[in-house]
Amino acid sequence: MDTSAYSIAQLAGDLREICAQTKDEREILSRARPLARRVALAKGSWLKPHMYEGDAEQGFGVHLLHEEPDHTLAIFAVSWLPGRGTPPHDHGTWALVAGVDGPEMNRFFERVDDRTRPGHAELKKIGEKVYGVGEVLAMPTGGIHNVWNETDKVTLSLHIYGKHINFTGRSQFDPEKQTETPFVLKLA
């Protein structure tokens, strides 16, 4: 497969078409997963040096590459600073994350509380996996994970969402304090 000419604009068009044909998340993720891999491997068509810049306070940089006017089909390049990452969080939408440059540790969680107490959440770790260049993580709505760069270099991944994550009402979690709070990202 020739990946050198596959652009973010082409990916967005293909995603638009898939989402027009089906609303089934499993089917969307299944059909879009190879496209996420293709565009991640075609980084020469879209990757710019500034996308490696991260926000020191946040621990990573979020660079918007595409977003539909109604906030759907948002695509980001995310740079992970060395030894930094995110707390456990959900997305409030389906997600695809493709490795672009360097490894990304993902730890997966499930909620074990009954969700009846606002601001309270109990999580149980259910697995972990390091995703490398060209590997794609597909997460349906409701999946919970955290991301960590365990290397001494900035790493980069491509994130594709069914909706811009700052418009989904998503949450971050503190497993030790058993809390759930809103999770809004600062964009570069």
d(CA 167, CA 104): 25
Please, which pLDDT band fits residue 188 given cuts at 50, 70 and 90? confident
Give a yes or no: residue 2 inside a domain: no
Alpha-carbon torsion 98, 104, 105, 107, what sign?
Answer: negative
- pLDDT tens-digit map of 74-106: 999 999 999 999 999 999 999 999 999 999 999
Please, which pLDDT band fits residue 4 given cuts at 50, 70 and 90? low
Give a yes or no: residue 169 inside a domain: yes
145: CB partners within 8 A, 6+ apart: 88, 89, 106, 107, 108, 109, 137, 139
Give a yes or no: residue 132 inside a domain: yes
Percent share of the chain, pLDDT over 90: 96
Which CATH number is 141's domain given?
A: 2.60.120.10
Give a yes or no: residue 3 inside a domain: no
Percent share of the chain, pLDDT over 70: 98
* Enclosing domain of residue 135: 8-182
The model's pTM is 0.94
Residue pair 144/109 in contact (Cβ under 8 Å)? The answer is yes
- pLDDT tens-digit map of 124-172: 999 999 999 999 999 999 999 999 999 999 999 999 999 999 999 999 9
Q: Which amino acid is at 27?
A: E
Please, which pLDDT band fits residue 34 given cuts at 50, 70 and 90? very high
Give a yes or no: residue 157 inside a domain: yes
Give a yes or no: residue 1 inside a domain: no
Residue pair 108/144 in contact (Cβ under 8 Å)? The answer is yes
Domains in the chain: how many in total?
1
